[in-house]
A and B are shown apart, each in its own frame.
Chain A
Amino acid sequence: MNFYGYKRPDGRVGIRNHVLILPASVCASDTTRIVANNVEGAVTFNNQLGCSQVASDQEFTMDVMAGYAANPNVYATVVISLGCENCQMDLVVDAIKKRTNKPLAQFIIQENGGTIKTVERATRAAKNFVQAASLLQKEEFPISELVVGTECGGSDPTSGLASNVLIGEMSDRVVDLGGTSILSETTELIGGEHILARRAKTLEVKARIFEIVHRYEKALQLVGEEVRDGNPSPGNKAGGLTTLEEKSLGCIHKAGHREISAVYDYAKEVTGKEGLVIMDTPGNDPSSVAGMVAGGAQIIVFSTGRGTPTGNPISPVIKITGNKITYGNMSDNIDIDASPLVYGTKTLEQMGDELMKEVQEVASGKVTKAESLGYTEMAIARVCNFV
């Protein structure tokens, strides 16, 4: 099974051809918004962070920024910083260069004489990149070049009955074809971590699975809080999920049945072509998806029970629901109806074929509903408060 994508100079394959206008901190975010608005084919996001952060908290931000620039869906990046922030321009550029050799431009607002002059120069650089990117032709590649991020949001009991099971089927097929599938959302492994641990490729991977779960719980307990205060959500419960364990046991179906070959910390670079892996991300969807995209996921497959329109600035998000009522209500936002799996009107193999075809088509350029409507939710995980 092949798809048509863009070969990057660092060897990775992208399925979109964006020019990223990257804000090094909150103080550069409106400038990047204005530049991205000036240039067709340029994308950006609002970065609320990048300053007043302690080292471990800043590392999350740096890894997401470097990972976004390195993501193969990005042709080139224009980095804009204010000049005084913690995420200094040279640090950001170094972090990007450690991951990729793709084209870069950089503009520091304070050194360019303020925002209007910066906007002019960055717009020109972005325009030049976009024109160069448009010369690239797509080539044919095997599915093994894909890193698929999996996610669930607005879960309900149909997630564990149908939509996550379908994602698990897709995950197994991608793994069998030599690709990579990422299971995420560490808080939603609680109650199912032993099941995943049994599938660890090595004792080290097994230990890491328990480590990321306990580490997350302890981090909340250190500030006197409990995971269960925020997870499951009111919508999860109204839909019929009673406890976090019940939710997690449904969530882990996204990982299918294959062995787990690695566990990555948040937003770290995923090697690729390594089968099923886990990334330590929050249960919060935008920041979890951001972590996987920063890791290199070109495509996200996302189940929802209650219905959610969320997308991502650089990687297309395919939405699936197993809830027939939700599909009826929100089909404007949902790509695939998995409810036939609940009622036995289609087999898992049939729906697996449908989802793999969707993945292939989206990889080759088909626009998802979230993409078509311009939904680009983005958040970066935190370790602690600002300083």
Chain B
Amino acid sequence: MTNAVIIDNKDTVAVAIEQLQKGTEAEIRTQDGSLKKVKLIDDVPIYHKFAIVEMKKGTPIVKYGEHIGIAACDIKPGNHVHEHNVESHRENLDNA
């Protein structure tokens, strides 16, 4: 049963739509309606984010197809993504 969603095809995180347990599999509905599976390596509270790809420290995190911050350390698929591993980054979007 779907327990997570990916908003945009370019996203590097998915959003849990149920409480997710470490060690279980997330069943993710993607933008085009298909199903993707990722093994969770952290507990993820409902509506929080988890990584669906590997992101090295300094990599921009993508949600809604846009940058929402940068990885503050190396992040693995299935990691909870939140304040502990994300740094805010004010980009100049004037010519974006």
Where the two chains meet, the residues of A that have a C-beta atom closer than 8 Å to any C-beta of B are 156-158, 160-161, 190-195, 210, 228, 237, 239-240, 242-246, 249-250, 305, 323, 325, 342-344
Contacts and interface: CB of A to CB of B under 8 A. Distances in A.
B88 A228 contact: yes
B66 A157 contact: no
Q: Which of B5, B83, B94 has the most CB of A within 10 A?
A: B94
A244 B48 contact: no
B64 A160 contact: yes
Interface string B16-38: 01000000000001000000000
Contacts of A237: 82-83
Contact of B66 (A156, A195, A240, A242): A195
Interface of B: 2, 5, 7, 15, 17, 29, 45-49, 63-64, 66-69, 81-83, 86, 88-91, 93-94, 96
B17 A343 contact: yes
Nearest to A160: B64
Given A161-B5, A242-B86, A191 B47 contact: no
A243 B69 CA distance: 7
In order of increasing CB-CB distance, the 4 nearest A-B pairs are A194-B96, A194-B93, A246-B68, A240-B48
Contacts of B5: 161, 342
A1 B10 CA distance: 38
A242 B83 contact: yes
Given A161-B7, A240-B47, 7 more contacts: A237-B83, A239-B47, A245-B69, A246-B68, A305-B47, A343-B2, A344-B2
A43 to B, nearest CB: 37
A70 to B, nearest CB: 35
Contacts of B91: 191
Contacts of B68: 191, 242-243, 245-246, 249
B48 A157 contact: yes
B66 A191 contact: yes
Nearest to B68: A246
B82 A245 contact: no
A249 B63 contact: yes
A260 to B, nearest CB: 16
Contact of B49 (A191, A240, A249, A325): A240
Nearest to B90: A190
Nearest to A207: B94
A325 B63 CA distance: 23
11 contacts: A157-B49, A161-B7, A161-B15, A191-B68, A210-B94, A237-B83, A240-B15, A240-B48, A245-B68, A246-B63, A249-B68
Given A237-B83, A249-B66, A244 B45 contact: no
Contacts of B93: 191, 193-194
